[in-house]
């Protein structure tokens, strides 16, 4: 008989997961409150205009900023493959993640977000400015919020995920809309968008530590988040990476690594068994 997924976790993880439920939920509540207070303690900040000055300005085949545009193909390919997989109802593992229709929905939103991010980011990088950046960030919030909802449903409460998915998606989209409306009035504020992005990235590993998944996949989830963290690091080092040989910039690598992170989620689903 196959061992439960939680039985294969490291001993320290098993000990943490054995804590009383109220302790684990309390820790999540404390971390959530701390994150909110940290965001509120920051002063409002608009989109820096220097953000649009990416290191690699080279064009090719009539496409400006070619590599930053073309590297978004990674999102398009993974998003399309993910949607194809999610929508093939008869091909999911028996009694697996799609045993109930609601369990499929967060991943449907996830891969829609990945696909649209490819198009939105390519549109933005063709002629980078703050207005076009909106169409890059809107679908990204679908990725963050749907993946967070999936983690809640698989590790904590299916009912909470089912009821919370739509509000989470609305929150994510609203964070970008409110920022852009503020930019148009000269009072742009990225705090809510930053919270939406980084809260999910920080809390999902905590949930992995505190709660076992009914389907396994701890390694793939952490690998996906690790790749995304590496992508963000490459973005911060955009010009420094480009200066190493002017072959590829950090921002182009960000796209490729973030696409690889999304692929890890798809790989987790295709290999999943209950």
Single out the residue of 144, 152, 172 nearest to residue 103, CA to CA: 152
The reported pLDDT for the residue numbered 243 is: 95
- Which residue would you say has higher pLDDT here, 97 or 154? 154
SS3 sequence of 72-87: CHHHHHHHHHHHHHHH
Single out the residue of 190, 143, 202 nearest to residue 47, CA to CA: 190
Confidence of residue 2 (pLDDT cuts 50, 70, 90): very low
The reported pLDDT for the residue numbered 256 is: 97
CB burial of residue 47 (10 Å; 0-12, 13-18, 19+): buried
Predicted TM-score (pTM) of this structure: 0.90
pLDDT tens per residue, range 192-239: 999 998 888 889 999 999 988 887 788 899 999 999 999 999 999 999
Indicate whether 155 pLDDT > 70: yes
Q: What is the mean pLDDT of the chain?
A: 88
The reported pLDDT for the residue numbered 216 is: 77
**C-alpha span between 218 and 124 (Å, rounded):** 34
pLDDT tens per residue, range 74-130: 999 999 999 999 888 545 554 444 445 667 899 999 999 999 999 999 999 999 999
User: By residue range, what is the domain housing residue 53?
Assistant: 5-270
The reported pLDDT for the residue numbered 5 is: 54
Confidence of residue 6 (pLDDT cuts 50, 70, 90): low
Per-residue tokens: 116: 């649209």
The reported pLDDT for the residue numbered 12 is: 84
- Cα distances (angstroms) measured from residue 42 to each of 31, 45, 84, 191: 17, 8, 41, 8
Tally of domains in the chain: 1
Percentage of the chain exceeding pLDDT 70: 91
Per-residue tokens: 262: 């999304």
CATH code, 50: 1.20.1070
**Dihedral sign for Cα atoms in the order 258, 179, 47, 65:** positive
Per-residue tokens: 141: 């919030």
Other residues' Cβ atoms within 10 Å of the Cβ of residue 183: 18
The reported pLDDT for the residue numbered 198 is: 87
Assess contact for 200 and 144: CB atoms under 8 A: yes
Percentage of the chain exceeding pLDDT 90: 62
Assess contact for 45 and 189: CB atoms under 8 A: yes
Confidence of residue 272 (pLDDT cuts 50, 70, 90): confident
């Amino acid at each position: 008989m196959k061992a439960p997924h939680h039985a294969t976790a490291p001993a320290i993880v098993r000990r943490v997961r054995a804590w009383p439920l109220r302790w684990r939920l309390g820790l999540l509540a404390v971390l959530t409150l701390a994150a909110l207070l940290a965001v509120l303690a920051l002063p409002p900040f608009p989109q820096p205009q220097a953000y649009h000055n990416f290191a690699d300005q080279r064009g090719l085949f009539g496409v400006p900023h070619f590599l930053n545009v073309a590297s978004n193909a990674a999102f398009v390919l993974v998003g399309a493959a993910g949607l194809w997989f999610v929508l093939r109802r008869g091909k999911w593992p028996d009694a697996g993640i799609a045993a109930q229709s609601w369990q499929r929905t967060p991943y449907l939103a996830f891969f829609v977000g990945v696909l649209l991010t490819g198009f939105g980011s390519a549109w933005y990088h063709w002629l980078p400015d703050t207005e076009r950046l909106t169409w890059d960030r809107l679908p990204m919030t679908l990725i963050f919020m749907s993946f967070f909802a999936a983690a809640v449903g698989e590790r904590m409460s299916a009912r909470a995920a089912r009821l919370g998915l739509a509000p989470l998606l609305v929150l994510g989209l609203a964070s970008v809309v409110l920022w852009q409306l503020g930019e148009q009035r000269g009072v742009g504020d990225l705090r809510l968008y930053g919270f939406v992005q980084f809260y999910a990235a920080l809390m999902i590993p905590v949930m992995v530590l505190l709660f076992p998944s009914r389907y396994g996949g701890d390694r793939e989830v952490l690998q996906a988040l690790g790749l995304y963290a590496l992508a963000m690091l490459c973005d911060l080092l955009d010009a420094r990476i480009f200066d190493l040989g002017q072959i590829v910039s950090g921002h182009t690598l960000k796209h490729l690594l973030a696409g690889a992170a999304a692929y890890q989620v798809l790989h987790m689903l295709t290999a999943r068994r209950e």
